[in-house]
Amino acid sequence: MKKVIVIGAGILGSSAAYHLAKKGAEVIMIDKCHQGQATAAGAGIICPWISNVDDPDWYRMSKAGALYYPSLISQLKEDGEEDFGYSQVGALSVSNDPEELDKIEQKVRQRKMNTPEVGDISRLTAEEARRLFPPLREDLAAVHVTGAARLDGRLLRDALQCAAKKHGAEYKAGEARLAVTNGKVTGAYLDNEWISADAAVVAAGAWTSKLLKPLGVELTVEPQRGQILHIQMPEQDTSQWPVVLPQSSHYLLAFADSRVVVGATRETGAGFDYRVTVGGLGEVIREALSVAPGLSAGTMHEVRIGFRPAGPDILPQLGTVPNISGLVIATGLGASGLTMGPYVGCLAAKMTIDEPVEMDLTPYNPVRGISKV
């Protein structure tokens, strides 16, 4: 079985390492522990069914990612893990426009025809919606979908890493430099340490292009900064509050510790600027209170900053590159990292050890029309 280096230990890289180790590969995870790792900051909404994105290739991967969670959780339980931060709490798509809700309901019902995991679909009055998410604005009715889930990406990442280690994977902190000899991955330098390997999965998120450039791979992926606010709601039982999806790119979701997460900015061109900005925080608060004014009584707990890996379009970048054997690239998930990440990691693992994958990955070619090797 191959010896594989996995560079990047966010949710995608940790999933790849876990699946590789389970299949008997010798696995070494390497992570630089950058500030702004997307997994550590992400909100964790698992609900592609209500998305406004119409790209069929995006939806195919997002749907597969969402549907993979029950299987993954079952596998992790078998490996003795207990805390995943995953809970199916449902989602509300909210609006004060009945015609808009009609369109949303129609779309979700069409998707359910091929995907029963969407769950029950119902139309709620504004009063019924507020019973499920009390801070909501009084005029916002909703389409309620029971098959949506929330996720704490940090907890699932940690569970994947712990389970990978139980199967023999090793974790090392530091900055890796891949080595290629005669067109084949031969290993990596970790600071001054040499680690030989037969293959590598590069899942370094927004830092992937920098890592691959010395190999002659020009990958189009850049950081998109997201600022996400966490609000404490004292003495409120938020454990079963559903995800709230307004008709914008913003969102609200609650966790069991009386905490509501609201976000997020999508700041392309900000680079790796790890700051909370007045404008960014103002945008998040303004959008949140316009949908759920009841949050104004909450306490500002923290702001997390994540650098989403944004590719040339909305699709992930997954696959191999010409002229370098043993190299699998997995990045570019953008705002869908926690939805797709574990499943994309599973696919990356299969590709690395030459197992067949169950999906046509042509649309996700990491160097689609833009790279030179």
Q: What pLDDT is attached to residue 369? A: 59
**How large is the average pLDDT for residues 85-97?**
95
Q: Measured between alpha carbons, how far is 69 from 117 in angstroms, rounded to an integer?
A: 11
Mean pLDDT across the chain: 95
pLDDT score of 370: 57
Mean pLDDT for the stretch of residues 208-236? 94
The average pLDDT across 90-95 equals 97
pLDDT tens digits for 254-264? 999 999 999 89
Is residue 347 a contact partner of residue 359, using CB atoms and an 8 Å limit?
A: yes
State the pLDDT at residue 162. 97
The domains located in the chain, with CATH, are 3-40+154-221+313-364 (3.50.50.60), 91-147+223-310 (3.30.9.10)
Distance, first Cα to last Cα, the chain: 27
Mean pLDDT of 170-190: 96
Is 0.75 topped by the overall pTM?
yes
Task: Taking residues 2-26, report their average pLDDT.
Answer: 97
Check whether 192 has a pLDDT greater than 80.
yes
**Over residues 147-163, mean pLDDT:** 96
pLDDT exceeds cutoff 70 at 88: yes
311-332: pLDDT as tens digits: 999 999 999 998 899 999 999 9
pLDDT mean over 165-169: 98
Instruction: Determine the average pLDDT of the residues in 216-226.
Output: 94
Distance, CA of 236 to CA of 197 (rounded, Å): 51
Three-state DSSP at 305 gives strand
Q: Among candidates 278, 152, 273, 263, which has minimal Cα distance to 224? A: 273
